[in-house]
Amino acid sequence: MGPLAGARGVIVLVAEGLRKRFGANEAVAGVSLAVEPGEMLALIGPNGAGKSTCFNMLGGQLRPDAGEVRLADRVVTGLAPRHLAHLGVGRTFQITASFASMTVRENVQTALLAQKRQAWRFWQAADAQHVGLAEGLLARVGMASQAERPAGVLAYGDLKRLELAMALAGDPVLLLMDEPTAGMAPAERAALMALVRGIARERGVAVLFTEHDMDVVFGQADRVLVLDRGRLIAQGTPEAVRADPRVRAVYLGTAA
Partner 1 sequence: MGGMMLQVENLHAGYGGAKILRGVSFDLAAGEVLVLLGRNGAGKSTTIKALMGLLRPTAGRVRLDGADIAGWEPHRIARAGLGWVPEERRVFPELTVAENLEVGRRAPADGRAPWTPERLFALFPNLADLRQRPGARISGGEQQMVAIARTLMGNPRVLLLDEPGEGLAPVIVDLMAEAILALKREGATVLLAEQSLAFASRVADRAVILETGRIVWDGAIDALLADTGARAKHLQV
Partner 2 sequence: MDLIFLQLLTGLAGASTLFLVAAGLTVIFGVTRVVNFSHGSLYMLGAFIAWSLLSRLPREPEYFVLGVLGAAVATAAIGAVLEVVLLRRIYRAPELLQLLATFGVVLVVQDVALWIWGAVDLSLSRPRWLRGAVEIAGLRFPFYDLVLIVVGPAVLGGLLLLFHRTRWGLLVRAATQDRDMVAALGVDQRVLFTSVFALGAGLAGLGGALALPQGSANLNMDLSVIAEAFVVVVVGGMGSLGGAFLAALLIGVLQAFGIALVPKITLVLVFLVMAAVLVVRPHGLLGKPQAMARGEVEALAPIRQAGPALQLLGAVALVLAILAPFVAGPYLLSVLTEAAVAVLFAASLHVMMGPGGMASFGHAAWFGVGAYAAAFAAKGLGAEMAVGLLLAPFAAGGLALLVGAFVVRMSGVYLAMLTLAFAQIAWAVAFQWVEVTGGDNGVLGVWPDSWAADKPTMYWLALLLCVGGALVLRRALFAPFGFALRATRDSALRAEAIGLDAHRLRLAAFVLAGAGAGLSGAVFAYAKGSVFPTYMAIPHSVDALVMVLLGGVQTMAGPVVGAVTFTVLQSWLLMGDFWRIKLGLLIIALVLAFPTGIAGAAAAAWDRWRGRAA
- Under the rule (CB under 8 A), what is the footprint of partner 1? 25, 45-48, 153, 155-157, 179, 182-188, 212, 214, 250-256
Asked if 129 touches partner 2 (CB under 8 A), the answer is yes
- List, edge to edge, every strand of the sheet that includes 89-92: 89-92, 174-177, 206-210, 40-44, 223-228, 231-236
Q: How far is the CB of 167 from partner 2 (least distance, A)?
A: 8
- Out of partner 2, partner 1, none, what residue 214 binds, judged by CB under 5 to 8 A for its kind, is partner 1
The residues near 220 (Cβ < 8 Å, ≥ 6 apart) are 40, 42, 190, 193, 194, 196, 197
Examine residue 106 and tell whether it contacts partner 2 (CB under 8 A): yes
Quick check: 80 binds partner 2 (CB under 8 A)? yes
If one asks whether residue 125 binds partner 2 (CB under 8 A), the answer comes out as: yes
Positive or negative CA dihedral for 105, 110, 111, 115? Answer: positive
- Asked if 166 touches partner 2 (CB under 8 A), the answer is yes
User: What residues numbered 214-243 form the site for partner 2, per CB under 8 A?
Assistant: none
Q: What is the 3-state secondary structure (H, E, C) of 74-133?
A: EECCCCCHHHHHHCCEEEECCCCCCCCCCEHHHHHHHHHHHHCCCCCCCCCCHHHCCHHH
What is the closest distance, in whole angstroms, from the C-beta atom of residue 186 to partner 1 in the complex? 6
**Residue 173 makes contact with partner 2 by CB under 8 A:** no
Binds 255: which of partner 2, partner 1, none (CB < 5-8 Å by kind): partner 1
Q: Which helix (H) or strand (E) holds 245?
A: helix 245-247
Rg (CA), the chain: 18
Give residue 32's identity as a one-letter amino acid code: S
By the rule CB under 8 A, 154 interacts with partner 2? no
Nearer CB in complex with partner 2: 156/255: 156
User: Rule CB under 8 A: which residues touch partner 2?
Assistant: 59, 80-83, 85-86, 90-91, 93, 97-103, 106, 109-111, 113-115, 117-127, 129, 150-152, 163, 166-167, 169-170
